[in-house]
Amino acid sequence: MNILYCGLKFDYGKSDLGYSFEHLNFYHTLKNMPSVDKLDYLSLDETIELNNKEYLNEEIINLAKKNKYDLVFFFLFKDEIFESTLNILKNDLSIPTLAWMSDDHWRFETYSKYWANYFSFVVTTDKNSLHKYKKNK
């Protein structure tokens, strides 16, 4: 399986806080899975800091076109990814996208519900949000 992983490298995007939970747990886990043949990593915070959001979104699309991923895995923080980028990945390039929503217990109503339908798959850590996702379709 070939995956593009997009997430924060540093806690809250701030290098002085050290590596983020998602970097330490998701990136390294995916990297060590025997079924993952190729894992490309696009650090959302570093890419935006060095360039901007437009560059980040263009890079995601360019990498996806070039590498024909089996999955683009997102662990998002805010509004780093454009709706148009997600639509291109999912609809135009037919690459499944996955969003890991780890804070649904407090962010579903203000964040997740607005983004969920742009992804092929959504994972939540909040069992109380499952019915909200179904209702939100």
Phi-psi region of 95 (alpha: psi -120 to 50; beta: other; left: phi over 0): beta
Residue 87 and residue 10: Cα distance in Å, rounded?
Answer: 27
User: How many other CB atoms are there within 10 angstroms of residue 80's CB atom?
Assistant: 20
Report the predicted TM-score, pTM, of the whole model to 2 decimal places: 0.91
- What is the average pLDDT across 114-121? 91
Segment 39-71, tens digit of pLDDT? 999 999 999 999 999 999 999 999 999 999 999
| The pair of three-digit structure tokens given for residue 35, joined into one six-digit string | 């079924």
- What is the average pLDDT across 120-129? 91
| The pair of three-digit structure tokens given for residue 28, joined into one six-digit string | 């390294």
